Amino acid sequence: MTTNTSQKIEQAFKKTISSRHIHEGVLYIENTDGDYSYNIGYGEKNIDSPLLMASITKLFTTTCILALQERGKLSLDDKVTQYFDNAVLSGLHVFGGNDYSFDLTISDLLFQVSGLPDVFEEGKENDKRRAIKEDYYITFEEQIALIKKLKPHFMPRTKRKAYYADINFDLLGEIIEKVEQSTLAEVYKRFIFDPLSLVSTYLPEGDNDFVPNIFYQNKSINRSKFIRSSRASGGCITTARELMIFMKAFFGGELFNKVIFEKLTASNKLQASMGPIFYGSGYMRIPLDGLITLFMGKGELMGHSGSTGSFAFFYPVKDLFMVGDLNQMGNAALPIRLSMKLAMMTK
């Protein structure tokens, strides 16, 4: 990597934050060995500032599921009926007059191929609209009740179909707790935070746990209750420095069997509103060699972004990890666009 590349990265970041809706941000790029390392902050953010992971939290949940599979405590082929009462599942997935609720597997949830709807984005009074207006806590049981009022999008495991829905990972979080007979925060700590010596990364549980403010357009809002209720699908807090450590461990095989992980190659394109994103075994895959880049890119980005502007991606073609935050809830596409642009310009 050259000084010229760092200058291009800085220019791309500054162009992104020039948006009138971006008030603070941070970008941290590094290769596996740390031979190349670059970071830049804006506003109140630097690589040690707390940031909302939002849906990047799903990578923590994925880590726990794969680690539990490796330990023989569960299988991706397990039906969810092993972990939930009939009352929870009944009527959860009714499609074409048939109830597929009892046919769902852990794999369906992890790969986002269950077909279940997403209460965060769907419905007249969805979680996103409500969270913009007010702070509130929503229980798992309330989420399930809302899901049952919405229509699934397809039968589980319909060929070449995936649909991004937080409930898939909310269910996985509950499964993790049942298997480990422990809180999700404790499991994250045992499987991820302690092994990687992460001291500024945590899943907030109580009123005293700090949750950073989020910007929605020009307004700074605090949604502590909502973040605490997001848990396995989007509730963690970290810093760019510690997110970099985690990303290297996730794709480097430090937290679970890398050989088994790399065999889970299936991925399917998500709904149109998610742009060019495919979903694999618990993480996003963004191809850079398609129409959206005019076929000018190579390979793919692997990782996750969050609805609050957070991003964490690995670009294997150039052996680069890029993490950061734009802290803007008004446009979830911004971190995706920035990450793609950065991957395309690196030499």
Residues 94-99, mean pLDDT to the nearest whole number: 96
Q: Tell me: the pLDDT tens digits for 287-312?
A: 998 656 555 678 999 999 999 999 99
pTM above 0.85, yes or no: yes
pLDDT at 312 (0 to 100): 98
The two three-digit tokens of residue 115, written as one number: 């077909």
Q: Tell me: the pLDDT tens digits for 45-80?
A: 999 999 999 999 999 999 999 999 999 999 999 999
Q: What percent of the chain has pLDDT over 90?
A: 84
pLDDT at 115 (0 to 100): 98
Domains contained in the chain, CATH given: 3-345 (3.40.710.10)
Q: For residue 19, what pLDDT band results from cuts at 50, 70 and 90? A: confident
Q: What is the overall mean pLDDT for the chain?
A: 94
Q: Tell me: the pLDDT tens digits for 168-190?
A: 999 999 999 999 999 999 999 99
